[in-house]
Amino acid sequence: MLNPSNRAETHLLERLDLARLPRHVAIIMDGNGRWAGRRHLPRVAGHRAGVRAARQVIESSARLGIEALTLYAFSVENWRRPQTEVDFLMRLLREYLRKELPVIHKNNIRLLVIGRSGQLPVPVREELDEAMKLTEANTGMKLVVALNYGGRAELVDAFNSILGELGRDGQARGRVEEESISNHLYTAGLPDPDLLVRTSGEMRVSNFLLWQIAYAEIYVTETLWPDFNTASLLEALVEYQGRERRYGGLGPGRRAGKPQPGL
């Protein structure tokens, strides 16, 4: 359970129904560069501040009892950035792991990585593998870090893996079902995100979890990622709980109409 540390958090917690939390929250952590720019600092200072925000959101999500938290940390498109920025981000990731892994482990969090991690620098890959191994048996929140992740790349990898299996089994006539696609994604076994958060105001999904967000509630905040804190997370959760999820139907408390001809 979360221990509120100020009045804003206490007030928001009172409005939150802990029995109706989203099972899976996915976050596009955007705006580090703009945060730094506004302070006349180099972009990398924004990434450093972004790590502090991530630390807080991870801890608060775990304490609230959220089942899975997915953080978009580096996209397949982010290699287009200057080499110095890419190198800094990779170093920052290793530094983060080294510092935070004991805390993550102590909090019973399980670390998972999604994306084409085989293309990450070897030392990063090795440390990620060790971290995943260490936390493998943890039963608390699943912390899913999207690294060298792209939603289209993930679908391509899933289809190729399905094709490979069909070829091996000699069942090339088999049909592909939705469930089978879900089961071949990097996120196999995780519930689809209920809530997708994007910071810094951009109204786009930037190739994130394209298949999985089919019915996610989308929450966009102007807050830049380094300024996103526990209160910001609680605000997003309160707003989520005020939404009516219909999944194409009529929503609760409404009677179904007459079936339409042809349906």
Q: Which residues are catalytic?
A: 30, 78
Return d(Cα 230, Cα 126) in angstroms, integer: 31
In one-letter notation, the amino acid at residue 173 is: R
Residue 89 lies near Mg ion (rule: CB under 5 A): no
Per CB under 6 A, the segment of 59-67, 74-82, 90-98, 160-168 that binds ligand IPE is 74-82
Residue 228 lies near ligand IPE (rule: CB under 6 A): no
Residue 154 lies near Mg ion (rule: CB under 5 A): no
CB 149 within 8 A of CB 72: yes
Which of ligand IPE, Mg ion, none lies near 206, with the C-beta cut-off 5 to 8 A by kind?
Answer: ligand IPE
Of residues 32, 60, 70, 135, which one binds ligand IPE by CB under 6 A? 32
Residue 69 lies near ligand IPE (rule: CB under 6 A): no
Which of ligand IPE, Mg ion, none lies near 243, with the C-beta cut-off 5 to 8 A by kind?
Answer: none
Sheet holding 110-114, edge to edge: 110-114, 142-149, 68-75, 24-28, 195-198, 217-220
Which of Mg ion, ligand IPE, none lies near 74, with the C-beta cut-off 5 to 8 A by kind?
Answer: ligand IPE
Of residues 204, 243, 246, 254, which one binds ligand IPE by CB under 6 A? 204
Nearer to Mg ion, 28 or 234 (CB): 28
- Shortest-Cβ-distance residue relative to ligand IPE: 33
For the bound state, the minimum distance from the C-beta of residue 29 to Mg ion, rounded and expressed in Å, comes to 9
Per CB under 6 A, the segment of 70-78, 102-110, 117-125, 157-165 that binds ligand IPE is 70-78
Residue 96 lies near ligand IPE (rule: CB under 6 A): no
Residue 30 lies near Mg ion (rule: CB under 5 A): yes
Q: Which residues bind ligand IPE (CB under 6 A)?
A: 28-34, 72-75, 78, 89, 200, 202, 204, 206, 225
